[in-house]
Amino acid sequence: MSNQSVQTVSTSGDKLKVALAVVAVIAGIVGFFFLAGKPAIVRAGALVAGLLVSAAILWTSATGRDFLNFAKEAVRETKKVVWPTRKEATQITMIVFAFVLLMAVFLWGTDKTLEFLLYDVILGWKK
């Protein structure tokens, strides 16, 4: 991760742009449902148009550019992850299943032992 300082200063113009972007998304969604009788391509076009207009407006704001930089950095960090091979993933999964089975048997045994001690030995109740 980079050691950049975080600045939360935003102008009223940026806030207006973010608000307009939200309005554009809402307009796209409303357009999608408003055009219920039209073909699916027209409805999808209204939704996509709203999202594209929103993205274009958001791109011009500092908040949008900061978000895009954050997303790019997140993708870059994800590429650094060393993913397990199929064999390793299978082995880890089997270990987890074995541990869960072992814990289930342990908890069942503990429950039955405490049930026996409480009801049969201490209270004297027989089933």
Higher-confidence residue of 11 and 2: namely 11
What stretches of 5-39 show up as alpha helix (H) in DSSP? 12-34
Tokens 């978000």: give the residue.
Answer: 67
- Average pLDDT over the chain reads 88
CB 64 within 8 Å of CB 20: no
**CA 38 – CA 54 distance, rounded (Å):** 23
Reported as a pLDDT band with limits 50, 70 and 90, residue 81 is very high
pLDDT grade, residue 58 (50/70/90)? confident
**DSSP letter assigned to residue 49:** H
Alpha carbon of residue 71 to chain centroid = 14
Whole-model pTM over 0.75:
no
Query: Which amino acid appears at position 46 of this protein?
Result: A
* Helix, strand, or coil (residue 1): coil
